[in-house]
């Protein structure tokens, strides 16, 4: 099996088929009884095991953070082992917390138990990235969080990967997650046998055998919706205004667009909150709008399936789309998703 540098390869297969064992052989937590594993031109079985593990990030379910260490100390673990100087370590902690969307001032000194499951998982990713390893191993990292948080973590990973281009081996038993995140998917059967190793599109179009067919599952039209990204469809304009902007101008711009709600953005264009036009008019100001932590949004890398999910639980009939650094990009309408679905069905039926 060859894993191209800079790609995300998903190992997917039933429980007990050897996914975790495969990962642990890559970073030598388990030694293979036969065969060889190379990273670049180097045989890992000949490398110094400690040295090897410091250059491979490892993320596990539940994040595996040390409970008695602060978030910052958890992230700093490997850099300190590598004897980075204090200034560089401190700067790296803040940089990584920013990268995984946690405010450093707020989270650096907290303890893991003071964080939600999703936040702990983000810190787990930050810790794995701390020494900037070229390879990341992720073993069912998002298996223990609720579906909405999982979708956000997946989107964040895709956004990170656009910037970082790591070689990522990612284990899951969820085929939808494999399709969404994987450049390639290896479908494993009991005994770590590779039944099929290909792109998501190729596996969906031509499953290797009945086992893969079962695994891929039914509902192909909806699955196709998981292969189309938000960036591939047309975005629409919502009424938006920066926090602190002129309220009267914002109200009249929203009315011109025929909108009842305004999306208020912070000074870096990140969506803060949906505010009714009527409230803005009554208050006469946009300067006291706070962040709504439950604001539903997807990213350009999200699938149309994710967008549909968010839309079905939102009261706006559209879902907000963000791009790099979480900046506002536009909205997806339900009509856009319906159109895409019809086109996909048209393309896949004779
Ligand atoms: N290639 C293999 N040869 C022999 N035993 C294996 C192999 N791969 C996994 N196992 C054994 O199978 C069991 C489950 O493996 P594990 O990697 O934890 O599965 P998974 O992560 O896919 O659920 C473990 O006891 C492991 O030692
Ligand atoms: Mg496992």
Q: Which two tokens stand for residue 68?
A: 């008695």
Q: Give backbone dihedrals phi and psi of 110, rounded to 5 degrees, phi first.
A: -80, 165
Residue 22: pLDDT over 80: yes
Please report where in the chains the tokens 């919502």 appear, as a residue: 238
Whether 17 lines ligand 1, by a CB cut-off of 6 Å, is: yes
pLDDT of residue 7: 96
CA angle 41, 44, 45 (to 5 degrees): 130
- Centre of ligand 2 from the C-alpha of residue 266, in Å: 41
Task: Give the whole-angstrom CA distance, residue 23 versus residue 18.
Answer: 9
pLDDT (average), residues 229-244: 92
Please report where in the chains the tokens 């008019």 appear, as a residue: 281
Could you tell me if residue 222 is inside a domain?
Answer: no
Residues 236 and 197 in one domain: no
Residue 219: pLDDT over 70: no
CATH of the domain at 310: 3.10.580.10
Give the total number of structural domains in the chain.
2
Residues 241 and 137 in one domain: no
pLDDT (average), residues 301-316: 82
Residue pair 303/225 in contact (Cβ under 8 Å)? The answer is yes
Residue pair 197/183 in contact (Cβ under 8 Å)? The answer is no
pLDDT band at 118 (very low <50, low <70, confident <90, very high): confident
pLDDT of residue 324: 84
Whether 284 lines ligand 1, by a CB cut-off of 6 Å, is: no
- Centre of ligand 2 from the C-alpha of residue 106, in Å: 33
Residues 108 and 237 in one domain: no
For the chain, state the CA radius of gyration. 22
Could you tell me if residue 65 is inside a domain?
Answer: yes
Ligand 1, closest atom to CA 188?
Answer: 22
Mutate to test the pocket of ligand 1, among 13, 19, 21, 138 (most ligand atoms within 8 A of CB): 21
Residue 242 DSSP code: E
pLDDT band at 167 (very low <50, low <70, confident <90, very high): very high
- Centre of ligand 2 from the C-alpha of residue 118, in Å: 20
Residue 49: pLDDT over 90: no
Burial of 234 from C-beta contacts in 10 A (0-12 / 13-18 / 19+):
exposed
- Centre of ligand 1 from the C-alpha of residue 22, in Å: 8
> Of 171, 193, 217, which residue constitutes the final position of a domain?
217
Residues 88 and 162 in one domain: yes
Give the number of the ligand closest to the Cα of residue 23: 1
CATH of the domain at 192: 3.40.50.300
> Of 217, 239, 256, which residue constitutes the final position of a domain?
217
Its domain, for residue 327, covers: 231-341
- Centre of ligand 2 from the C-alpha of residue 139, in Å: 7
Could you tell me if residue 346 is inside a domain?
Answer: no
Residues 65 and 121 in one domain: yes
Residue 170: pLDDT over 90: yes
pLDDT (average), residues 151-165: 85
Could you tell me if residue 197 is inside a domain?
Answer: yes
pLDDT of residue 222: 66
pLDDT of residue 182: 94
> Of 194, 217, 240, which residue constitutes the final position of a domain?
217
Residues 33 and 113 in one domain: yes
Whether 172 lines ligand 1, by a CB cut-off of 6 Å, is: no
pLDDT of residue 288: 86
């Amino acid at each position: 099996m060859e894993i191209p540098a800079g790609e995300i390869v998903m190992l997917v297969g039933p429980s007990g088929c050897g996914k975790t064992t495969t990962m642990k052989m890559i970073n030598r937590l388990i030694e293979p009884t036969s065969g060889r594993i190379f990273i670049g031109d180097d045989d890992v079985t000949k490398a110094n095991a400690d040295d090897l593990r410091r250059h491979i990030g490892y993320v596990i379910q539940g994040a595996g953070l040390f409970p008695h260490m602060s978030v910052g100390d958890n992230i700093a673990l490997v850099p300190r082992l590598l004897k980075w100087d204090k200034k560089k370590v401190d700067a790296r902690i803040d940089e990584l917390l920013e990268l995984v969307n946690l405010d450093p001032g707020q989270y650096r000194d907290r303890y893991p138990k003071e964080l939600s499951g999703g936040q702990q998982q983000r810190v787990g990713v930050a810790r794995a990235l701390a020494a900037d390893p070229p390879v990341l191993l992720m073993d069912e990292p998002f298996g223990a969080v609720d579906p909405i948080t999982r979708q956000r973590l997946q989107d964040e990973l895709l956004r990170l990967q656009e910037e970082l281009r790591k070689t990522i081996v990612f284990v899951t038993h969820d085929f939808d997650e494999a399709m969404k995140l994987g450049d390639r998917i290896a479908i494993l059967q009991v005994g770590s046998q590779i039944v099929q190793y290909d792109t998501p599109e190729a596996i969906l179009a031509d499953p290797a055998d009945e086992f893969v067919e079962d695994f891929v599952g039914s509902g192909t039209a909806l699955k196709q919706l998981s292969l189309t990204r938000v960036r591939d469809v047309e975005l629409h304009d919502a009424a938006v205004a920066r926090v602190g902007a002129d309220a009267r101008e914002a109200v009249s711009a929203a009315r011109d667009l025929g909108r009842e709600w305004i999306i208020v953005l912070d000074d870096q264009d990140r969506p803060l909150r949906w505010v009714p036009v009527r409230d803005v008019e009554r208050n006469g100001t946009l300067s006291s709008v706070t962040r709504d932590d439950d604001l539903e949004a997807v990213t350009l890398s999200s699938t149309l399936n994710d967008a549909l999910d968010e839309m079905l639980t939102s009261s706006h009939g559209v879902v907000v789309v963000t791009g790099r650094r979480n900046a506002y990009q536009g909205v997806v309408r339900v009509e856009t998703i319906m159109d895409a679905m019809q086109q996909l069905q048209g393309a896949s039926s004779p």
